[in-house]
Structure 1
């Protein structure tokens, strides 16, 4: 499929959506936004950064996304900024 919309039944997307459920509405929405708007068109390298982001602890993610702390990893920080800029 060439456009950004992948079927909701795609097993990879389905697993990722499950992993994006963090228990914090704000984080859930940010991760879902990335899946809906950027995952399908991102490179494998960018997807790997997203998967790395999903491995981070929720409290760290919250502080990084909200700007309370600076993320020490440049690639993660760049992706978080891209996610923040994606249309809701």
Structure 2
């Protein structure tokens, strides 16, 4: 049996707010508060996979220093939208 969506959202929110680096705490907390409630199961599974990536890689993807893997491009675009002002002066 798969995890219930509300339980999955709570788990993903906790993983979003407790990252390895403070910048990703801030960026992913904002994203999770703004978007997790609206994501369906496929998008939540994709976000779950994204949260398993290294924080330094994630930060480089968010800031545009490195291009993210294609399978994360749509999700990273949403995360970048909420990170305006946090990743650049």
Distance 1:38 1:82 in 2: 9
| Residue 37 (structure 2) pairs with residue 40 (structure 1) | yes
| Residue 62 (structure 2) pairs with residue 65 (structure 1) | yes
TM-score by length of 2: 0.71
Aligned length: 78
CA shift, 1:87, in A, is 7.8
Partner of 2:28: 31
CA shift, 1:17, in A, is 3.2
Question: Which structure 1 residue ranges, 5 or more long, are not aligned?
Answer: 1-9
TM-score by length of 1: 0.72
CA RMSD of aligned residues (A): 2.2
Partner of 2:71: 75
**Residue deviations 1:9-53 (CA, integer Å, cap 9, x gap):** x75444333322113222112211221111111111111111011
Q: Which runs of 4+ in 1 moved over 4 A?
A: 10-14
